[in-house]
């Protein structure tokens, strides 16, 4: 007889939607993941990649024993957990004793957005502090931009755009990376809102846009300034803007420093299109939903700042249906007071992790501990990252799978998937929090990150106050919510709306900046103020519906990866040809796929390809920092096709 049960949990994968899940378990095995119909955002459906998660959960390639390479260049051999944990502890103590705790790097990225993962950060703080990352490859530039402009980076309520007359999607492919916005945007449109999409890449979101504009990559600031120019020229700005904006006159001068035609030329759109955008923008309330892609460029922070400034001077801040939404504060509801915020550990900018590890001195980096991340595939300049890991005295990678990064390690520790975890999540795309409960037990021989840290804490003499189970830590993390009247039992329904979130952000037009006003950008780098001398083909590796970053289904990472280009970008080739892409970093074989809807300066790839299979776009990418916030310049590396 089949024994079928259903359990509720939540999805902590790196995604703005942060879904409530219903998991079907048959005879102890996860067979199906569905969206929780009661969850206000999930509304009963989930994305393609996570509906396929049972394949990953039950995959034969999942690791279940610690793997040790006893000698550099040697093969992995299975060892016991006791040997593995003793070894990690012994190395950590030795390196701290001989070279200081800063000779150890701790790195994690988006493997799980679980709040409990911060307890692991605290483990390294308590032991060290060790060397950590600074900046953020995902959203660092946009966060820095909004801190500069508003003093914080939060958003109005998720559903607030139903008050908008016009919705600007700046570089957002909701069909891939925020699928729960699709029905809501359709609803808004059916109720009369106009949707404007600005994206150099042609993709499925075009199908729900009333206006689609395909500008030159990296030129959104020219569009924002051009719209501002039109608003000022037609007296459509907010006449009260000077009451809550600093630098208004200089911003106006900047907007008028170029004609509409000049701003349009920089963005490679027609002046008529720019006027069409400005007219739509002026028909407010207008909300700007700012995607994450446009800030992963050289001038990413300045770009976001121009969009923020446009929202401010047009009177769209602090009103229902307005806003410049880039991020939702994801952790703000939880209590991290156990961590010492005044510590300033040594850091390496995340986009340059590989080179930073190789270059560090006084002390040099002797050990790296990686968990919840696959930096070889996901950080720029894959080969340098791989070399930096292979060449350390001791590299540890904790992952359920033998990733590109794990293959560069001395020791690999197998760990749980999110279906086996006890945790909470917040979201960077809405204000609902949720609880993760283990729906199945981990395979025999697999420990969670938290169990690994507890074991290590005992061996390292830092167990006091730390070595308690996940349930107890979760209670501590809830302290702030409890003070606001939210208890753990409230999570049983599958979600809790953060009591700290505002329905309309900045409703009183008071900002968290030193002056209390919006800090309008009023200077732009010369490169944003001119038409580039020559058009270059830019490697643009963005999210795909098929995977979560480098977490691909088994068997999909073989042979050359696809590169989508406009036919004119590869005049000596035919559709389907194997060709070589070359950048200043490396060369790579790809299968060309022609698409005349794309711009000739865009070379579109899937992010997350595996380096050791020769499919990682990041092997082609220069490790460069954005103008602010230490984000990675993922989409500005020039390439040739031969
Ligand atoms: N070229 C290019 N590169 C990019 C991007 C791009 O657009 N273009 N996007 C960037 C962005 S936005 C991001 S956020 C980063 C993401 O970069 P990463 O977060 O490094 O990407 P993932 O491939 O998801 O790696 C996460 C790893 O964590 C593991 N994992 C999952 N759950 C757990 C857990 O509970 N514990 C542990 N120990 N491991 C776990 C997974 O198996 C996986 O191997 O990539 C960036 N890289
Ligand atoms: N299926 C799936 N979903 C994901 C992920 C995944 O790997 N797979 N990754 C997750 C992660 S880590 C994150 S951070 C989020 C968001 O992840 P993102 O990587 O931000 O999501 P994408 O849909 O790839 O959005 C990038 C968009 O920015 C556009 N873009 C690039 N350059 C420019 C520019 O100069 N101007 C403008 N206007 N647009 C530009 C690209 O064309 C693309 O449409 O999604 C998450 N969701
Ligand atoms: Mo991300």
The reply to whether ligand 2 has any atom less than 6 angstroms from the CB of 294 is yes
Q: How far is CA 581 from CA 197, 405, 588, 590, in A?
A: 29, 23, 5, 7
270: CB partners within 8 A, 6+ apart: 264
- How much is the average pLDDT of 584-588? 98
Q: How far, in Å, is the centroid of ligand 1 from the Cα of 177?
A: 14
Q: How far, in Å, is the centroid of ligand 1 from the Cα of 555?
A: 19
- How much is the average pLDDT of 89-109? 98
Nearest ligand to the C-alpha of residue 46?
Answer: 2
Report the alpha-carbon distance of residue 574 to residue 420 in Å, rounded: 47
- How much is the average pLDDT of 15-19? 98
pLDDT of residue 242: 98
Q: 119 and 202 share a domain? A: no
**Where are the strands (E) in 111-160, listed by range?**
132-134
DSSP-derived pairing of the beta strands 432-436 and 423-425: antiparallel
Q: How far, in Å, is the centroid of ligand 1 from the Cα of 487?
A: 31
- Using a pLDDT cut of 90, give the percent of the chain over it: 99
- How much is the average pLDDT of 118-124? 98
Which H/E stretch holds residue 594? strand 587-594
Give the angle 100-105-109 at the CA atoms, nearest 5°. 155
Q: How far, in Å, is the centroid of ligand 3 from the Cα of 30?
A: 27
pLDDT of residue 356: 98
Nearest ligand to the C-alpha of residue 113?
Answer: 1
Q: 145 and 222 share a domain? A: yes
Nearest ligand to the C-alpha of residue 16?
Answer: 2
CB of 598 closer than 8 Å to CB of 627:
no
Q: How far, in Å, is the centroid of ligand 3 from the Cα of 109?
A: 9
Q: 212 and 305 share a domain? A: yes
Q: 390 and 470 share a domain? A: yes
Q: How confident is the model at residue 418 (pLDDT cuts 50, 70, 90)?
A: very high
Q: 421 and 310 share a domain? A: no
CB of 150 closer than 8 Å to CB of 513:
yes
Residue 640 within a domain: no
Q: How far, in Å, is the centroid of ligand 2 from the Cα of 180?
A: 15
CB of 367 closer than 8 Å to CB of 107:
no
Q: 306 and 203 share a domain? A: yes
Report the alpha-carbon distance of residue 308 to residue 518 in Å, rounded: 9
Q: Ligand 1, closest atom to CA 543?
A: 7
Residue 94 within a domain: yes
* 2 has a pLDDT exceeding 90: no
Q: 42 and 73 share a domain? A: no
Residue 135 within a domain: no
Q: How far, in Å, is the centroid of ligand 2 from the Cα of 15?
A: 10
Q: How confident is the model at residue 632 (pLDDT cuts 50, 70, 90)?
A: very high
Cross-strand pairs, 211: 196
pLDDT of residue 256: 98
Residue 121 within a domain: yes
Nearest ligand to the C-alpha of residue 631?
Answer: 1
Report the alpha-carbon distance of residue 121 to residue 133 in Å, rounded: 11
Question: Which residue CA neighbors atom 22 of ligand 2 most closely?
Answer: 543
Q: 124 and 192 share a domain? A: no
Q: Among 153, 269, 293, 327, which is best to mutate for testing ligand 2, by the most ligand atoms less than 8 A from CB?
A: 293
* 87 has a pLDDT exceeding 80: yes
Residue 255 within a domain: yes
Q: How far is CA 31 from CA 127, 139, 401, 441, in A?
A: 40, 34, 20, 14
Helix/strand/coil (H/E/C) assignment for every residue in 540-572: EEECCCCCECCECCCCCCCCCEEEEECHHHCCC
The reply to whether ligand 1 has any atom less than 6 angstroms from the CB of 374 is yes
Determine the length of the chain. Answer: 642
| CATH number of the domain within which 263 lies | 3.40.228.10
Q: Among 291, 378, 598, which is best to mutate for testing ligand 2, by the most ligand atoms less than 8 A from CB?
A: 291
Structure tokens at 604: 């579109």
> How does DSSP classify residue 27?
T
Question: Which residue CA neighbors atom 46 of ligand 1 most closely?
Answer: 378
The reply to whether ligand 2 has any atom less than 6 angstroms from the CB of 545 is yes
Helix axes 449-460, 117-127, angle to 10 degrees: 20
Tens digits of residue pLDDT in 557-585? 999 999 999 999 999 999 999 999 999 99
Instruction: Report the domain count for the chain.
Output: 4
Alpha-helical regions (H) of 197-270:
220-233, 241-244, 248-256, 260-267
Q: 148 and 212 share a domain? A: yes
78 CA to centre of own chain: 34
Question: Which residue CA neighbors atom 35 of ligand 2 most closely?
Answer: 218
Report the alpha-carbon distance of residue 117 to residue 14 in Å, rounded: 13
* 146 has a pLDDT exceeding 80: yes
Give the angle 35-545-443 at the CA atoms, nearest 5°. 60
Q: Ligand 2, closest atom to CA 540?
A: 31
Report the alpha-carbon distance of residue 544 to residue 169 in Å, rounded: 18
pLDDT of residue 118: 98
Task: Kindly report whether the peptide bond that precedes residue 465 is cis, defined as omega within 30 degrees of 0.
Answer: no
The reply to whether ligand 1 has any atom less than 6 angstroms from the CB of 605 is no
Q: How far, in Å, is the centroid of ligand 1 from the Cα of 108?
A: 9
pLDDT of residue 332: 94
Residue 635 within a domain: no
Q: How confident is the model at residue 362 (pLDDT cuts 50, 70, 90)?
A: very high
**Where are the strands (E) in 82-227, listed by range?**
104-107, 132-134, 166-170, 194-198, 211-213
pLDDT of residue 1: 63
Tens digits of residue pLDDT in 487-520? 999 999 999 999 999 999 999 999 999 999 999 9
| CATH number of the domain within which 95 lies | 3.40.50.740
Q: 174 and 211 share a domain? A: yes
Residue 330: closest CA among 628, 118, 565: 118
Residue 245 within a domain: yes
The reply to whether ligand 2 has any atom less than 6 angstroms from the CB of 549 is yes
Structure tokens at 320: 């229902």
The reply to whether ligand 1 has any atom less than 6 angstroms from the CB of 225 is no
pTM greater than 0.95 (yes/no): yes
Residue 120: closest CA among 418, 357, 369: 369
- How much is the average pLDDT of 112-132? 98
Cross-strand pairs, 578: 591
The reply to whether ligand 2 has any atom less than 6 angstroms from the CB of 552 is no
Q: How far, in Å, is the centroid of ligand 1 from the Cα of 53?
A: 15
Nearest ligand to the C-alpha of residue 446?
Answer: 1
The reply to whether ligand 2 has any atom less than 6 angstroms from the CB of 226 is no
The reply to whether ligand 1 has any atom less than 6 angstroms from the CB of 63 is no
- In the chain, DSSP finds a helix count (H) and a strand count (E) of 19, 27
* 330 has a pLDDT exceeding 80: yes
Q: Among 385, 399, 418, which is best to mutate for testing ligand 1, by the most ligand atoms less than 8 A from CB?
A: 399
Tens digits of residue pLDDT in 22-66? 999 999 999 999 999 999 999 999 999 999 999 999 999 999 999
Tens digits of residue pLDDT in 371-413? 999 999 999 999 999 999 999 999 999 999 999 999 999 999 9
The reply to whether ligand 1 has any atom less than 6 angstroms from the CB of 415 is yes
Mean pLDDT for the chain overall? 98
Q: Which residue range forms the structural domain that includes residue 603?
A: 536-626
Question: Which residue CA neighbors atom 10 of ligand 1 most closely?
Answer: 138
CB of 318 closer than 8 Å to CB of 307:
no
DSSP-derived pairing of the beta strands 638-641 and 578-582: antiparallel
> How does DSSP classify residue 461?
T
396: CB partners within 8 A, 6+ apart: 88, 367, 368, 369, 370, 409, 410, 411, 412, 413
pLDDT of residue 428: 98
Q: How far, in Å, is the centroid of ligand 1 from the Cα of 267?
A: 32
- Using a pLDDT cut of 70, give the percent of the chain over it: 100
Which H/E stretch holds residue 425? strand 423-425
Q: Among 66, 110, 615, which is best to mutate for testing ligand 1, by the most ligand atoms less than 8 A from CB?
A: 110
Q: 169 and 254 share a domain? A: yes
pLDDT of residue 196: 99
Q: 119 and 147 share a domain? A: no
Residue 43 within a domain: yes
């Amino acid at each position: 007889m089949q024994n079928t049960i259903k359990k509720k949990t939540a999805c902590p994968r790196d995604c703005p939607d942060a879904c409530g899940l219903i998991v079907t378990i048959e005879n102890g095995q996860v067979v199906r993941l569905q969206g929780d119909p009661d969850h206000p955002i999930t509304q009963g459906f989930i994305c393609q990649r996570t509906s396929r998660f049972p394949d990953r959960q039950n995959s034969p390639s999942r690791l279940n024993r610690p793997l040790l390479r006893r000698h550099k260049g040697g093969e992995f051999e299975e060892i016991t957990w006791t040997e593995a944990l003793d070894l990690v502890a012994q190395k950590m103590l030795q390196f701290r004793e001989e070279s200081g705790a800063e000779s150890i790097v701790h790195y994690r990225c988006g493997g799980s957005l679980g709040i409990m993962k911060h307890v692991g950060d605290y483990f390294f703080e308590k032991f060290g502090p060790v060397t950590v990352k600074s900046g953020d490859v995902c959203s660092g530039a946009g966060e820095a931009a909004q801190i500069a402009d508003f003093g914080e980076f939060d958003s109005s309520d998720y559903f607030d755009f139903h008050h908008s007359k016009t919705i600007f999607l700046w570089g957002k492919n909701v069909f891939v990376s925020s699928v729960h916005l699709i029905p809501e945007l359709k609803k808004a449109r059916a109720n009369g809102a106009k949707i404007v999409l600005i994206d150099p890449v042609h993709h499925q979101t075009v199908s729900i846009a009333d206006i689609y504009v395909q500008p030159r990559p990296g030129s959104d600031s020219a569009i924002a300034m051009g719209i501002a120019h039109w608003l000022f020229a037609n007296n459509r700005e907010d006449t009260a803007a000077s009451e809550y904006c600093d630098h208004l006159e200089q911003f106006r001068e900047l907007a008028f420093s170029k004609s509409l035609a000049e701003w349009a030329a920089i963005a490679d759109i027609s002046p008529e299109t720019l006027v069409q955008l400005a007219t739509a923008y002026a028909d407010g309330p207008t909300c700007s939903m700012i995607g994450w892609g446009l800030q992963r460029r050289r001038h990413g922070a300045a770009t976001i700042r121009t969009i923020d400034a446009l929202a401010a001077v047009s009177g769209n801040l602090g009103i229902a249906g307005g806003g410049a939404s880039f991020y939702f504060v994801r952790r703000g509801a939880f209590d991290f007071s156990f961590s010492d915020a005044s510590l300033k550990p040594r850091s390496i900018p995340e986009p340059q992790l590989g080179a930073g590890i190789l270059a560090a001195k006084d002390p040099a980096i002797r050990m790296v501990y990686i968990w919840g991340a696959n930096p070889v595939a996901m950080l720029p300049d894959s080969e340098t990252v791989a070399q930096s890991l292979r060449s350390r005295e001791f590299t540890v990678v904790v992952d359920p799978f033998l990733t590109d990064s794990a293959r560069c390690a001395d020791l690999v520790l197998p760990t749980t998937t999110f279906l086996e975890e006890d945790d909470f999540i917040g979201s960077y795309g809405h204000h609902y929090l949720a609880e993760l409960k283990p729906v199945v037990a981990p395979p025999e021989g697999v420990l969670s990150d938290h169990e690994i840290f507890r074991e290590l804490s005992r061996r390292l003499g830092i167990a006091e106050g730390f070595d308690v189970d996940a349930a107890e830590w979760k209670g501590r993390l809830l302290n702030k919510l409890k003070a606001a009247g939210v208890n753990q039992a409230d999570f049983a329904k599958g979600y809790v709306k953060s009591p700290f979130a505002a329905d309309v952000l900045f409703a009183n037009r008071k900002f968290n900046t030193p002056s209390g006003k919006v800090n309008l950008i009023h200077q732009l780098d010369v490169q944003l103020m001119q038409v580039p001398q020559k058009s270059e083909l830019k490697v643009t590796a963005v999210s795909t519906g098929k995977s979560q970053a480098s977490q691909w289904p088994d068997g999909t990472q073989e042979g050359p990866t696809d590169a989508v280009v406009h036919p004119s970008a590869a005049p000596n080739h035919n559709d389907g040809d194997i060709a070589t892409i070359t950048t200043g970093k490396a060369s790579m074989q790809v299968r060309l796929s022609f698409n005349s809807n794309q711009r000739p300066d865009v070379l579109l790839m899937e992010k997350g390809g595996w380096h050791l299979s020769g499919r990682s776009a990041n092997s082609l990418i220069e490790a460069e920092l954005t103008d602010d916030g230490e984000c990675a310049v993922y989409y500005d590396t020039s390439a040739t096709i031969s």
